[in-house]
């Protein structure tokens, strides 16, 4: 079974608008971490934001925020004030268990295209 599900293969957003990327996850662990990575066309993987399962507040990093709904097992990424440079593929990922030193499981990704 898929641990991370990203149902939006591709999205278009107008420059300066906000966009929400969906991510749902499946785990029976009480302790886990959720991550978002950005992969521009150049190919590198860039870490954006992290949310721990015990964190009570939603994570924010600049224009990125994570809408964490634990009961629904969702961890949506919100990008505010979109810029042309935000055009990229975005991956949601999860680390299960209490150790910070364990593999991440990735979703299939969502391609975001920002229009001028």
User: What is the binding site for other proteins (CB under 8 A)?
Assistant: 33, 35, 37, 43-45, 47, 50, 52, 91, 95, 99-109
Pick the closer one to other proteins by CB: 12 or 18. Answer: 12
Least separation in angstroms between residue 58's CB and other proteins is: 15
Least separation in angstroms between residue 15's CB and other proteins is: 25
Q: Do residues 35 and 93 make contact, with C-beta atoms less than 8 angstroms apart?
A: yes
Residue of 31, 14, 12 whose CA lies nearest to 110: 12
Pick the closer one to other proteins by CB: 32 or 79. Answer: 32
């Amino acid at each position: 079974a898929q641990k991370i599900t990203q149902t939006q293969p591709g999205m278009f957003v107008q420059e300066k608008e906000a966009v929400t990327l969906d991510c749902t996850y499946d785990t029976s662990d009480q302790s886990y971490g959720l991550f978002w990575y950005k992969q521009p066309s150049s190919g590198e993987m860039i870490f954006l934001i992290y949310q721990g399962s015990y964190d009570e507040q939603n994570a924010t990093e600049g224009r990125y925020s994570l809408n964490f709904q634990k009961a629904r097992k969702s961890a949506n990424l919100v990008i505010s004030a979109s810029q042309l440079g935000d055009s990229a593929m975005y991956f949601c990922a999860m680390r299960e268990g209490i150790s910070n030193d364990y593999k991440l499981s990735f979703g299939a990704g969502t391609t975001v295209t920002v229009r001028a």
